[in-house]
Amino acid sequence: MREMAMREMAWMRERAALQRFGMTPTVASRTRAVETPLSPADDTLLASLLDELSDTRAPDAQAMLERMAAAHPSVAGQLRELYAAMMVTDAVAAHSTILEAGGHQSGGDQADGDDDRGTAGGRRAGVPDWNSSSHPLAATPTGLLPGVTPLPATFGDYVLLEEIGRGGMGVVYRATQNSLGRTVAIKMLLRRDLASQSDLTRFRSEAEAAARLDHPGIVSIFEVGECDGHPFYSMQFVEGTTLAKRLLQGPLPAREAADLLAKVADAVHAAHARGVLHRDLKPSNILIDAAGEPHVSDFGLAKRLEVEESVTHTGAILGTPCYMSPEQAAGSRGDVGPTSDVWSLGAILYQMLTGRPPFQAASPMDTLLAVLESDPPVPRSIDRQVNRDLEMIALKTLQKPQELRYATAADLAVDLRAFLDGEPIAARQGGLADIVARLFRETHHAVVLENWGLLWMWHSVVILALCVTTDVLAWRGVTTRWPYLVLWAGGLALWAPIFWALRHRTGPVTAVERQIAHVWGGSVIASVLLFWVEALLDLPVLKLSPVLALLAGLVFFAKAGILSGAFYIQAAVLFATSLAMCAAGSFAHILFGLVSGACFFIPGLKYFRQRGRG
User: Which DSSP string corresponds to 403-416?
Assistant: GGS-SSHHHHHHHH
**Separation of alpha carbons 275 and 314, rounded Å:** 21
Could you read off the pLDDT of 369-411 as tens digits, one per residue?
888 878 899 999 999 999 999 999 999 999 888 888 999 999 9
pLDDT band at 473 (very low <50, low <70, confident <90, very high): very high
pLDDT attached to residue 106: 35
Phi, psi torsion values for 376, nearest 5 degrees? -70, 155
Query: Across residues 98-102, what is the average pLDDT?
Result: 35
pLDDT attached to residue 97: 34
pLDDT attached to residue 134: 38
Report the 10 Å Cβ neighbour count for 263: 20
110 or 463, which is more confident: 463
- pLDDT value at 484 more than 90: yes
> What CA–CA distances, in Å, run from 315 to 84, 277, 360, 448?
37, 18, 23, 17
Q: Which amino acid is residue 147, in one-letter code?
A: G
pLDDT band at 328 (very low <50, low <70, confident <90, very high): confident
296 or 145, which is more confident: 296
pLDDT attached to residue 186: 92
- pLDDT value at 305 more than 70: no
pLDDT attached to residue 375: 85
pLDDT band at 102 (very low <50, low <70, confident <90, very high): very low
Contact present, 437 and 404 (Cβ < 8 Å): yes
**Separation of alpha carbons 510 and 516, rounded Å:** 10
Long-range Cβ contacts of 517-522 (<8 Å, 24+ apart)? 519/555, 519/558, 519/559, 520/555, 521/496
- pLDDT value at 142 more than 70: no
Question: Counting Cβ atoms within 10 Å, is residue 101 exposed (0-12), middle (13-18) or buried (19+)?
Answer: exposed
> What CA–CA distances, in Å, run from 65 to 62, 79, 156, 325, 519?
5, 8, 27, 38, 57
pLDDT band at 299 (very low <50, low <70, confident <90, very high): confident
Strands (E), 87-138: 118-119, 123-124
pLDDT attached to residue 612: 81
Q: Which amino acid is residue 553, in one-letter code?
A: G
Query: Across residues 170-182, what is the average pLDDT?
Result: 91
- pLDDT value at 141 more than 80: no
Q: What is the DSSP string of 392-451?
A: HHHHHHT-SSGGGS-SSHHHHHHHHHHHHTTPPPGGG---HHHHHHHHHPBPGGGGGGGG
Contact present, 560 and 532 (Cβ < 8 Å): no
pLDDT attached to residue 474: 94
pLDDT attached to residue 189: 82
pLDDT band at 87 (very low <50, low <70, confident <90, very high): low
Average pLDDT of the chain is: 78
Share of the chain above pLDDT 90, in %: 42
pLDDT attached to residue 37: 63
pLDDT attached to residue 296: 93
Contact present, 184 and 236 (Cβ < 8 Å): yes
* Among the ranges given (303-317, 422-436, 496-510), the one the predictor scored with the smallest mean pLDDT: 303-317
Could you read off the pLDDT of 9-67 as tens digits, one per residue?
444 444 444 444 444 444 334 445 545 666 666 666 666 666 666 655 555 667 777 77
pLDDT attached to residue 21: 41
pLDDT attached to residue 10: 45
How many degrees, rounded to 5, is the angle at CA 69 between CA 67 and CA 71?
A: 65
> What CA–CA distances, in Å, run from 475 to 197, 471, 530, 585?
75, 6, 20, 11
How many degrees, rounded to 5, is the angle at CA 368 between CA 367 and CA 374?
A: 80
Query: Across residues 134-153, what is the average pLDDT?
Result: 62
pLDDT attached to residue 117: 31
Query: Across residues 309-323, what is the average pLDDT?
Result: 53
pLDDT attached to residue 367: 84
Residues in the chain: 614
**Separation of alpha carbons 454 and 475, rounded Å:** 32
pLDDT attached to residue 93: 37
Query: Across residues 81-95, what is the average pLDDT?
Result: 51
Query: Across residues 515-543, what is the average pLDDT?
Result: 92
- pLDDT value at 456 more than 70: yes
Query: Across residues 312-334, what is the average pLDDT?
Result: 64
pLDDT attached to residue 543: 94
Could you read off the pLDDT of 331-358 as tens digits, one per residue?
645 578 899 999 999 999 999 999 999 9
pLDDT attached to residue 402: 85
Most confident of 109-113, 167-171, 304-308: 167-171
pLDDT attached to residue 120: 32
What does the CA dihedral 483, 485, 490, 492 come to, rounded to 10 degrees? 130
**Separation of alpha carbons 230 and 306, rounded Å:** 29
Contact present, 169 and 94 (Cβ < 8 Å): no
Query: Across residues 178-186, what is the average pLDDT?
Result: 93
Question: Where on the phi/psi map is residue 491: left (φ > 0), alpha (ψ -120 to 50), or beta?
Answer: alpha
- pLDDT value at 315 more than 80: no
77 or 356, which is more confident: 356
Contact present, 242 and 283 (Cβ < 8 Å): yes
- pLDDT value at 458 more than 50: yes
pLDDT attached to residue 432: 66
Query: Across residues 131-141, what is the average pLDDT?
Result: 35
pLDDT attached to residue 68: 78
372 or 477, which is more confident: 477
Could you read off the pLDDT of 539-580 as tens digits, one per residue?
999 999 999 999 999 999 999 988 889 999 999 999 999 999
**Separation of alpha carbons 469 and 481, rounded Å:** 14
386 or 307, which is more confident: 386
H runs (alpha helix) in 442-510: 453-475, 482-485, 491-504
